[in-house]
């Protein structure tokens, strides 16, 4: 299973919209017959890839796969039926498939007389497809909120300037994080005031566009003028005419989007936080003080320290050096529960 997980994360495999899956076929003696992995939407699934490589040797084999074999016909046929047709005797999978469209593969295999064992290294398999798993189980995309701030919590100076709050190493790192998502979301205010292009650019040269681009989503009721850079032909664009974060994420989920990179201003960030729709926070903190200026986040309804929002720190990384230093904090919001005592 460890080998199957490594196959699932082979270089070049996209993070979505399909889950990353690896498969190893073993002979009755335990030797490897063939390996396979899914290379993205429309390509053969991992099990079918491995079966094609094994040919007739698959009869009587054990298939070790990172995700429960699918049970539906989409761009490709059901993997559960392909395993049965190949004569596979046993299937061991890690993560159960809770996608209502594809679930039920284990039951199909058992009805056909195939021995099935599930749950081996399930947590590790879930980690391989963190955002896909979250989206399937919650019915909305996973949301990563990214912002840059000074040590005293300012995202811009009093005159609105903000260019050096995030250092060049931090900006390059931001493009790396953007590339892990399938959607970047901002509010209309950000588009009207800053006119960002919202594309993913190369780590070595932040002015060089990458081939894989995100869906650029703008949320708000105001019109987005045709001359804004977010509407150029560098990537797809959608205007979500709503102020409701739940409605915005619902519209993106309907477009098969699973990981949203939230880069809007303080008002939009506060709206998502208060709605309980931020799943990960990435903050780039500059070792500088402004004293006044725009806050990194808007009103969260906190009037006393007892009501403060708490986040669990999962990673701390120093980027750059000297005046180009930023500290990247990766955090997870903690569940907020009302105190009824």
Residue 79 is assigned to a ligand binding site: yes
Q: Is residue 8 classed as helix, strand or coil in its secondary structure?
A: helix
Strands 280-286 and 142-150: parallel
Residue 263 is assigned to a ligand binding site: yes
From 47, 68, 131, 280, active-site residue: 47
Specify whether the CB–CB gap between 322 and 313 falls below 8 A.
no
Helices assigned H by DSSP within 10-167: 46-54, 79-86, 105-111, 122-128, 130-138
| Exposure letters 95-123 (e unless 16+ CB within 10 A, then b) | bbbebeebbbbbebbeeeebebeeebbbe
Q: Is 47 known to be catalytic?
A: yes
Helices assigned H by DSSP within 130-185: 130-138, 168-178
Q: Is residue 108 classed as helix, strand or coil in its secondary structure?
A: helix
Residue 201 is assigned to a ligand binding site: yes
Residue 148 is assigned to a ligand binding site: yes
Residue 194 is assigned to a ligand binding site: yes
Residue 198 is assigned to a ligand binding site: yes
Q: Return d(Cα 254, Cα 279) in angstroms, integer.
A: 19
Residue 162 is assigned to a ligand binding site: yes
Q: 238 has which bridge partners? A: 217
Residue 264 is assigned to a ligand binding site: no
Residue 269 is assigned to a ligand binding site: yes
Q: Is residue 24 classed as helix, strand or coil in its secondary structure?
A: strand
Residue 265 is assigned to a ligand binding site: yes
Residue 270 is assigned to a ligand binding site: yes
Residue 178 is assigned to a ligand binding site: yes
Instruction: List, as residue ranges, the binding site for substrate.
Output: 162, 178, 198, 201, 263
Q: Active-site residues: which are they?
A: 47
Instruction: List, as residue ranges, the binding site.
Output: 45, 70, 79, 148, 162, 164, 178, 190, 194, 198, 201, 263, 265-271
Instruction: List, as residue ranges, the binding site for Zn(2+).
Output: 45, 70, 79
Instruction: List, as residue ranges, the binding site for NADP(+).
Output: 148, 164, 190, 194, 265-271
């Amino acid at each position: 299973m460890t080998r199957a997980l490594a196959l699932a994360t082979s270089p070049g495999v996209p993070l979505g919209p399909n889950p990353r899956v690896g498969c190893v076929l073993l002979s009755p003696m335990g030797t490897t017959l063939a390996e396979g992995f899914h290379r993205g939407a429309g390509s053969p699934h991992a099990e079918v890839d491995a079966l094609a490589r094994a040919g007739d040797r698959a009869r009587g084999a054990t298939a070790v796969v990172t995700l429960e074999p699918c049970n539906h016909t989409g761009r490709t046929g059901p993997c559960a039926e392909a395993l049965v047709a190949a004569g596979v005797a046993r299937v061991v999978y890690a993560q159960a498939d809770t996608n209502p469209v594809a679930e039920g593969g284990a039951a199909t295999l058992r009805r056909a007389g195939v021995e099935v064992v599930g749950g081996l290294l399930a947590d590790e398999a879930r980690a391989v497809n963190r955002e896909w798993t979250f989206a399937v189980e919650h019915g909305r995309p996973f949301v990563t909120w990214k912002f840059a701030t000074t040590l005293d919590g300012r995202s811009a100076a009093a005159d609105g300037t903000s260019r050096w709050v995030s250092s060049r190493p931090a900006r390059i790192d931001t493009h790396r994080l953007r590339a892990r998502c399938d959607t970047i979301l901002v509010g209309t205010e950000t588009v009207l005031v800053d006119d960002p292009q919202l594309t993913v650019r190369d780590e070595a040269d932040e002015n060089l566009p990458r081939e894989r681009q995100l869906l650029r989503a703008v949320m708000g009721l105001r019109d987005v003028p045709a001359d804004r850079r977010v509407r150029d032909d560098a990537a797809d664009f959608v205007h979500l005419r709503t102020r409701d974060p739940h409605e915005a994420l619902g519209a993106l989920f309907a477009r098969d989007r699973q990981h949203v990179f939230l880069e809007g201003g303080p008002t939009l960030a506060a709206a998502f936080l208060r709605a309980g729709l931020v799943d990960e926070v990435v903050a780039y903190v500059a070792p500088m003080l402004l004293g006044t200026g725009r806050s990194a986040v808007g009103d969260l309804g906190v009037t006393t320290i007892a009501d403060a929002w708490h986040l669990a720190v999962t990673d701390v990384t120093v980027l750059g050096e000297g005046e180009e230093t930023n500290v990247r904090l990766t955090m997870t919001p903690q569940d907020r529960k009302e105190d009824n005592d």
